[in-house]
Amino acid sequence: MRTLNCKGKILDIREPVIMGIINVNDDSFFPGSRMTAIDAIVQRAGMMVDSGAAILDLGGASTRPGAQDIGAKEEIRRVIPAIRAIHEAYPDAIISVDTFHVPVAEKAIAEGASLINDISGGDIDPEMPYLALQHKCPYIIMHMQGRPPTMQVDPRYDDVLAEVLDYFIAKSEKMRSIGLADIIFDPGFGFGKTLEHNYTLLNNMQVFRILEKPVLAGLSRKGMLWRPLHASPEEVLPATIAVNLLALQKGASILRVHDVKENMQLLKTFKLIKQHESN
């Protein structure tokens, strides 16, 4: 797949792109990504667009391990004014709504969002793929074992790579059956996975190429980085750059990140490496 049709806006993914994270809440695991004031949110969005972000991903609810579902009504109250304001300020920006609630996604699309990022892949609300199809929005399908409140309580797999791949194959067949072509797969680093599971998936991401769909890598400042380093989310930007480079080498099409400027530098350097690798 070379392009994604985002409600008529064409996103070229022949080369990898950056998705910038804006958390419209006060509970996400990385404090630097939390914002609630509309002016600050629009300013952050502008900085990300100016730095080269191809997509802005807005979420009104935290999905960190242990987070509770705040419900669609509260999510709407938080995220819809932010999406409206960003769309007014940057009408050409591709805005993604990070939600598993159909009412939230529906209102977000009405206010300017053109991509749906669903951590449940439609498992929580099976109507979500049909909403994406109806509005011609690309649909991000993430793998998650369990749900955020309990997903990190003893996650287990017989073969994590095979099970995630099988999940994506089944989802691909389902999306094909309803006519939804523009889908993106996200292995779900940190969502019902141990440290070993996460690094097994990262080191074998090239396997997902057989799906012939874009793959998103959401590794930015996650616990798989800061916990083994005895650090904090604020301290692991260099580690984030390191794993994002590996993800690019393994075929990731989208990097979902908190730090757009720094990861754009990584992306440009990666492209230079690729341009000169045969010399």
* 199 burial via Cβ count (<10 Å: 0-12, 13-18, 19+): middle
Q: How far is the CA of 86 from the CAs of 16, 95, 115, in angstroms?
A: 23, 8, 14
Q: Which helix (H) or strand (E) holds 226?
A: helix 223-226
Say whether 256 is catalytic: yes
Instruction: Say which of 256, 261, 268, 274 is annotated catalytic.
Output: 256
Instruction: Say which of 44, 107, 193, 222 is annotated catalytic.
Output: 222
267 and 16 in contact (C-beta within 8 Å)?
yes
- Phi, psi (deg, nearest 5) at residue 133: -65, -45
In whole angstroms, give the CA distance from residue 104 to residue 132. 12
Q: What would you measure as the largest C-alpha separation in the chain, in angstroms? A: 56
Instruction: Give me the residues paired with residue 21 across strands.
Output: 57
Q: What secondary structure letter does DSSP report for 279?
A: -
In whole angstroms, give the CA distance from residue 278 to residue 262. 26
* 138 burial via Cβ count (<10 Å: 0-12, 13-18, 19+): buried
Instruction: Give me the residues paired with residue 139 across strands.
Output: 116, 183
Helix or strand or coil: residue 148?
coil
79 and 58 in contact (C-beta within 8 Å)?
yes
Instruction: Give me the residues paired with residue 19 across strands.
Output: 55, 256
Say whether 107 is catalytic: no
Residue (of 122, 120, 96, 76) closest to 21 by Cα position: 96
Q: Which residues are catalytic?
A: 222, 256
